[in-house]
Amino acid sequence: MKRHAAITEPRWIRYLLIGISILFLISFLITPLILIFVKAFEGGIGLYLKAFVEPEALAAMRLTALVVCIAVPLNTIFGLCASWAITKFEFRGKGFLLTLIDLPFTVSPVISGLIFVLLFSDKSWLGGIFYNLGIQIIFSTPGIVMVTTFVTFPFVARELIPLMQSQGIEEEEAALTLGATGWQTFWRVSLPNIKWGLMYGIILCTARAVGEFGAVSVVSGHIRGLTNTMPLHIEILYNEYNFTAAFAVSSLMVFGALVTLLIKHYIEWRMKGEKRL
């Protein structure tokens, strides 16, 4: 006990530090979270539930689901390909490729939206082609899908690359010597080995795809019931002083975020367990 006491801080300092930390987290993190639920239920449960059956709310949820269903699988396939190429082989320019993959993380959401507006505006070359074909990209669903894909681009690859790097290629080689084809090796050996990391990446990617606001806001055109995702729907409700509804929809998203964290911790716990074995 004495030995232990010698290398930590005096008790009052420990309590002070814990106190400050908790106060910091409460004022910046916990209070806003709780407030969302308080505000959401201020008008009673009836008004709360009403926020979800509005046709515009339902349309926003549907659009968000659609966006997630396209952007996340695309980035997952990309993430698997990129991490396979990068971790299983040696080639020139690997470091540069890694930096490029990280790029979307450093681009401001508003700029992410802007570049797609520039790319597909009817004044641009590509936008002109689509305009003549009668396909609207910007201020329409395809634009929202594209920016979301851009913004969530690195998530899966980012999780998988360090994981696969640490695993090496010996198990894959073993599978090949036992007669497995490339596909069999991938499905039966590589994929099971990275399943938790992959799920982790998909979860993070999904959370971001659901919640992206700035970039989507730029390309959506805010057409009610047509090009509003859930975060945009919240913004409109809020700006119309329909606070109860705004906080009600928000509470659903907070709930989603909490579930995400729960899954994340479950996965972390599983990964840790497997590492220990």
Partner 1 sequence: MSIIIQNVSKAFGDVDVLKDLSFEVKTGELIALLGPSGSGKTTLLRSIAGLEVIDSGNILFHGDDTKDKTVQERQVGFVFQHYALFKHMTVFENVAFGLRVRDKKSRPSESEIERKVHELLQLVQLDYLGKRYPSQLSGGQRQRIALARALAIEPQLLLLDEPFGALDAKVRKELRKWLRRLHDELHITSVFVTHDVEEALEVADRIVIMNEGRIEQIGTPEEVYHHCANAFVYQFIGNVNLFHGRVEDKVAHFGNVSVSLPETSEQETKDTVFYVRPHDLDIHHSAPDSTAFKAKIDHVHLAGPVVRVDLTSEWGDPVHVEITQDYYLSMTFQKGMDVFVSPKDGRLFMQDYSI
Partner 2 sequence: MRKKVRRKTILPGFGLTLGITVTYLGLVVLIPLSMLFIKTAGMGFQPFIEIVTSPRSVSAYWLSFYTAAISALINAVFGFLVAWVMVRYSFFGKKVLNALIDIPFALPTAVAGIALTAAYSGQGWIGHLLGKIGITAVFNPIGIIIALTFIGMPFVIRTIEPVLEDMEKEMEEAASSLGASRIQTWIRVILPTVLPAWITGTTLSFARSLGEYGSVVFISGNMPFKTEIAPLLIMTQLEQYNYEGATAIACIMLLASFSLLLLINSLQAWSKVRGRG
Q: Which of 49, 65, 111, 223 binds partner 2 (CB under 8 A)?
A: 111
| Identity of the residue, 10 or 179, whose beta carbon is nearer to partner 1 in the bound complex | 179
The SS3 call for residue 43 is: coil
Decide if residue 165 touches partner 1 (CB under 8 A).
no
For residue 150, the tally of other CB atoms under 10 A from its CB is 21
Residue matched to tokens 């971001």:
208
Decide if residue 135 touches partner 2 (CB under 8 A).
no
Decide if residue 93 touches partner 1 (CB under 8 A).
no
* Cα–Cα distance, 56 to 106 (Å, whole number): 33
Q: Of the ranges 22-30, 64-72, 183-191, 252-260, which one interacts with partner 1 (CB under 8 A)?
A: 183-191
Q: Which of 67, 172, 200, 205 binds partner 2 (CB under 8 A)?
A: 172
| Identity of the residue, 40 or 80, whose beta carbon is nearer to partner 1 in the bound complex | 80
Q: Which of 57, 160, 199, 234 binds partner 2 (CB under 8 A)?
A: 234
* Cα–Cα distance, 136 to 143 (Å, whole number): 8
| Identity of the residue, 15 or 49, whose beta carbon is nearer to partner 2 in the bound complex | 15
Question: Please, what is the minimum distance in Å from the beta carbon of residue 167 to partner 1?
Answer: 9
The gap between the terminal CA atoms of the chain, to the nearest Å, is 31
Decide if residue 166 touches partner 1 (CB under 8 A).
no
Q: Cβ distance 157 to 79 under 8 Å?
A: yes
Rg (CA), the chain: 23
Task: Kindly state the tokens that stand for 185.
Answer: 């090796």
Q: Cβ distance 239 to 246 under 8 Å?
A: no
Chain mean position to CA 248: 22
Decide if residue 271 touches partner 1 (CB under 8 A).
no
Q: Which of 47, 50, 70, 84 binds partner 2 (CB under 8 A)?
A: 84
Decide if residue 96 touches partner 2 (CB under 8 A).
no
Q: Which of 12, 89, 96, 241 binds partner 2 (CB under 8 A)?
A: 89
Q: Which of 88, 136, 270, 271 binds partner 2 (CB under 8 A)?
A: 88
| Identity of the residue, 122 or 268, whose beta carbon is nearer to partner 1 in the bound complex | 268
Name the residue among 48, 30, 64 with its Cα closest to residue 249.
Answer: 48
Q: Which residues contact 28 (CB under 8 A, 6 or more apart)?
A: none
* Cα–Cα distance, 163 to 54 (Å, whole number): 44
Question: Please, what is the minimum distance in Å from the beta carbon of residue 273 to partner 1?
Answer: 10
- Which residues are at the interface with partner 1 (CB under 8 A)? 170-171, 173-181, 184, 188-189, 192-193, 274, 277
